[in-house]
Amino acid sequence: MIIRCQHITKNSQLFIMKYQRSSALFDEAYKYIPGGVNSPVRAFKSVGGVPVFMKSANGAYLTDADDNTYVDYINSWGPAILGHTHPEVLEELKMQAEKGFSFGAPTELETEIAKFITENVPNIDQIRMVSSGTEACMSAIRLARGFTKRDKIVKFEGCYHGHSDSFLIKAGSGAATFGNPNSPGVTEGTAKDTLNARYNDIEQVEDLFRHNEGQIAAVIIEPVAGNMGCVLPENDFLQKLRTLCDKNGALLIFDEVMTGFRLAFGGAQEVYSVKADLVTFGKVIGGGLPVGAFAGRNEIMDHLAPKGAVYQAGTLSGNPLAMRAGLKTLQIIKNDAGFFERLNKTTEILDREIGKILSEKSIPHRINRKGSMMSVFFHIKSVSNFDEAQQANHSLFNNFFHQLLKSGIYLPPSGYETYFISDAIKEKEIDMTLEAVRKFEYS
C-alpha cells in the first residue's frame, strides 16, 4: 500500500535502506490504523513518500526507527518550544507520576497554573483547561454563542481551529455565501452557521456583518496564521476586526493555540496590542502533553457550567501530569528574560540566510515570518491569504522537503504549515540547516 517517494526514485535502493524500518512499520501500522497514522498530516500524503517513524527525541534532534537523526523544525507542531525532553520538565513529570497520574478531582496544581496564566496573559480573568486545541476552540464558540445568544460565527479561509464540525467549512467562490461542508459528516445545518472570509480582507467581514445583522456571535481568527503556512495580519487587520466586533456586539476570539506563549508570553494580544474577548490555547501550554485551554473575562467565563448554563466538561481536563509539564515549561520561559529575543533571533537568521541561498540559486520564493514561526513559499508574489498560499509552487516545496529530510533536516511535511523553531536550535543546527539548503537541487 506504500506509494514510494517520487523524488527519490533516482536513488531508490539507498532510500529503501535508509528508511527500511520506517517502511516496515508503516506497512504494519497501515493494517490497524486508518491510513497508518493518528493524525493525517503525519502520513506525508502531500509531499509523497513514506512517513518517518520516530523513536526518541532530545533537544533539537529527533531519532527515527532506523537511527537516522534530524534537526527538528516541527517540535511536535509547537509544544517543544524548549526543545525535546527538557531535563527540568522531565524531572517534574517523574515527580508527579510518583504521586498519581489522574484523580478526576480538583487539585491545587490546577489553580496554580490558572493563576500563573491569567496573571501573565493580558485581558483574561479565568481559564478552563481541556485536553486539545480542538476542544478549546469548540468550547470557545459554544460559550460565545451562549453568551451572545446568537448562532453564527465568522472564520477565515486557511485558518484551522481544530476538527470540530463548525470549523470544517470551506467558503464557496463568493465568500459572502453560506459555507459548504468540506468533510463528509458535517451537516448542512451546521455549515450554514459558519461564515467564511478571506484573511486580511476587512471588507468581506464588513459585508458578512451587514448581511447577517444581529446574528453573528463571534469572529474567530489565528492572529498570526500558521495553518496555511505562516501568514501575517496586515494593515491593522486585527485592530479593525476588534472595532467591527465592538460595533456589532460580537465577540472576538483569538485562537492562540499556536501563537500563545510563542510570539510572546502574552501571545498575539501583547504583540499586536489588540484585546480579544476569548483566547484559546494549546501546544506550548501543555509542554508536550495533551492540553488545551480557553480563557476570557469574568463576565463571559461566568456563563460556563457549573456556575453558568453553558455546558463543558472533560474526564482528563486539568490532568496533573499535563499541568506539571505545562506549568514547568511556562515557568522556564518566564524566568529566562532573553528567551523570546533569542528564539526570534534564531528564526531571523534562518529566514535571512535561507533566503540568501535560494536567491543565489535564482529560486523564486517568499519567506513569511513572525517571531519563531516561519514558512518558505516558493512563489513570486507575497502571500497574505489562503488563495495566494495555494498559488505557491507546492511540488517544488515537496522536492525541497525530501531533499532536506535526506540531509537530516525535518521540516513540516506540507507547504501549508509553519516551522516551529525551538530554543534548542543553536548555531550548529543553523549551520547544518543552511548546508542542507545549499545542497538543494532545483530541477
Ligand X SMILES: *Cc1c(COP(=O)(O)O)cnc(C)c1O
Catalytic residue of the set 19, 73, 160, 419: 160
Closest CA to 117 of 269, 312, 219: 269
- Are 227 and 417 in contact by the 8 Å Cβ rule? The answer is yes
CB closer to ligand X out of 241 and 430: 241
CB closer to ligand X out of 315 and 335: 315
The backbone torsions φ and ψ at residue 312, rounded to the nearest 5 degrees and listed phi first, read -165, 135
Cα gap 84→141, rounded to integer Å: 32
Could you tell me if residue 274 is left (phi over 0), alpha (psi between -120 and 50 degrees) or otherwise beta? beta
CB of 264 to ligand X, least distance (A): 16
CB of 257 to ligand X, least distance (A): 4
Which strand ranges, in their side-by-side order, compose the sheet holding 409-410? 54-58, 61-64, 69-72, 409-410
CB of 378 to ligand X, least distance (A): 22
CB closer to ligand X out of 76 and 148: 76
Residue number, nearest CB to ligand X: 133
CB closer to ligand X out of 150 and 161: 161
CB closer to ligand X out of 320 and 412: 412
DSSP 252: E
Catalytic residue of the set 155, 283, 328, 406: 283
CB of 430 to ligand X, least distance (A): 25
Helix, strand, coil % (nearest 5) of the chain? 45, 20, 40
Catalytic residue of the set 64, 72, 193, 255: 255
Report in angstroms the alpha-carbon separations of 361 from 226, 321, 355, 365, 439. 27, 48, 10, 11, 10
CB of 277 to ligand X, least distance (A): 17
CB closer to ligand X out of 19 and 420: 420
Concerning whether 160 is annotated as a catalytic residue, the answer is yes
Contacting positions for ligand X (CB under 6 A):
132-134, 137, 160-162, 222, 226-227, 255, 257-258, 282, 292
C-alpha triplet 361, 365, 366: angle, nearest 5°: 140
Cα gap 132→119, rounded to integer Å: 22
Concerning whether 351 is annotated as a catalytic residue, the answer is no
CB closer to ligand X out of 343 and 358: 343
| Cell numbers placing 414 | 506540507
CB atoms within 10 A of CB 106: 9
**Half-sphere exposure of residue 284: CA atoms within 13 angstroms, side-chain side:** 29
Q: Which residues contact 31 (CB under 8 A, 6 or more apart)?
A: none
CB of 258 to ligand X, least distance (A): 4
Cα gap 358→78, rounded to integer Å: 26
CB of 293 to ligand X, least distance (A): 11
Cα gap 411→415, rounded to integer Å: 10
| Residue given cell 498530516 in the structure block | 41
Concerning whether 283 is annotated as a catalytic residue, the answer is yes
Active site residues: 160, 255, 283
